[in-house]
Amino acid sequence: MTGTIKSIGVIGAGQMGSGIAQVAATAGYDVTLSDISLENAESGVRKIGEALAKAAEAGRMDAGEADATAARIAATGDLKTLADCDLVIEAASEVENVKRAIFAELCPVLKPEAILGSNTSSISITRLAASTDRPERFMGIHFMNPVPRMKLVELVRGIATEDTTFERSREFVRSLGKQVTVSEDFPAFIVNRILLPMINEAIYTLYEGVGSVEAIDTAMRLGANHPMGPLELADFIGLDTCLAIMQVLHEGLSDSKYRPCPLLVKYVEAGWLGRKAGRGFYDYRGDTPVPTR
């Protein structure tokens, strides 16, 4: 497998996918942002343009550079448009069947030498790779949220991932100005293996009445010097994503310490998924977030 990565495809125009597209375009790559519909993809591109414009207004980048970056991103609702990409990163929902369905549609149109990456935050890279036609060219490339601000990217290779795939992926991540950390392919990798059980424990602390939402978040911000309380962070991540990761940990490691808190399950069942839904552990529908418990 030879060649340099020049063109990038990103599947999923939500918060993560749009962030990945933005940093790739900022680094000079041509990017195609794909979603289930062209309208969704175009909405993602518009939000990237707005973010770049704000960065220029704040003096974090030159206005001309912001315009040039935005011009390097194209929207599509058709995976066939990604046929000539050198690297495609899937950033869809943290649901394995959704990812497998995307790969089944994508792989037949990709050129043989293209690398396929997944931004999954918890699911087995080996298992995802085995569902594709290129397990040796499949890589876990897990960005942190929000992508433009967070410096870390976890690289996770599956059992079949070739050294060349790993090296090219690492070069790509470094070209974005990100720091690489390498994780073995175990459930939730490094960051979420540590972070999500802490969030889950904070939810148990709320569930058991040890403290209120405000008390728990204040305690961890001021007592542990965390920039954001764990319940506020859960809302930021998305409670459905938090639950999905805890389920992967619980099922993958068969340890009761990873059992998702029943209160987390209840909030997800209610559709209170955090900031993106307007309600989670805080209610975001007013001018100021208000704790819901």
The confidence score (pLDDT) of residue 3 equals 58
pLDDT, tens digit (0-9, with 9 covering 90-100), for 156-200: 999 999 999 999 999 999 999 999 999 999 999 999 999 999 999
The confidence score (pLDDT) of residue 149 equals 94
Give a three-class secondary structure readout of the chain: CCCCCCEEEEECCCHHHHHHHHHHHHCCCEEEEECCCHHHHHHHHHHHHHHHHHHHHCCCCCHHHHHHHHHCEEEECCHHHHCCCCEEEECCCCCHHHHHHHHHHHHHHCCCCCEEEECCCCCCHHHHHHCCCCHHHEEEEEECCCCCCCCEEEEEECCCCCHHHHHHHHHHHHHCCCEEEEECCCCCCCHHHHHHHHHHHHHHHHHCCCCCHHHHHHHHHHHCCCCCCHHHHHHHHCHHHHHHHHHHHHHHHCCHHHCCCHHHHHHHHHCCCEHHHCECCEECCCCCCEECC
pLDDT, tens digit (0-9, with 9 covering 90-100), for 13-52: 999 999 999 999 999 999 999 999 999 999 999 999 999 9
The confidence score (pLDDT) of residue 2 equals 42
Tell me the torsion sign for CA atoms 274, 99, 46, 20.
Answer: positive
The confidence score (pLDDT) of residue 1 equals 36
Q: What is the mean pLDDT of residues 103-107?
A: 97
Q: What is the mean pLDDT of residues 118-147?
A: 97
CATH of 7-183, one of 3.40.605.10, 3.40.50.720, 3.20.20.220, 2.40.160.100: 3.40.50.720
pLDDT higher than threshold 70 for residue 145: yes
Which pTM was predicted? 0.91
pLDDT, tens digit (0-9, with 9 covering 90-100), for 259-287: 999 999 999 999 999 999 999 999 999 99
Q: Give catalytic residues, as residue numbers.
A: 121, 142, 154, 192
pLDDT higher than threshold 60 for residue 225: yes
The confidence score (pLDDT) of residue 196 equals 98
Q: In the chain, what are the domain boundaries?
A: 7-183, 191-291
CATH of 191-291, one of 1.10.10.10, 3.40.630.30, 3.40.50.150, 1.10.1040.50: 1.10.1040.50
pLDDT, tens digit (0-9, with 9 covering 90-100), for 61-97: 999 999 999 999 999 999 999 999 999 999 999 999 9
The confidence score (pLDDT) of residue 4 equals 84
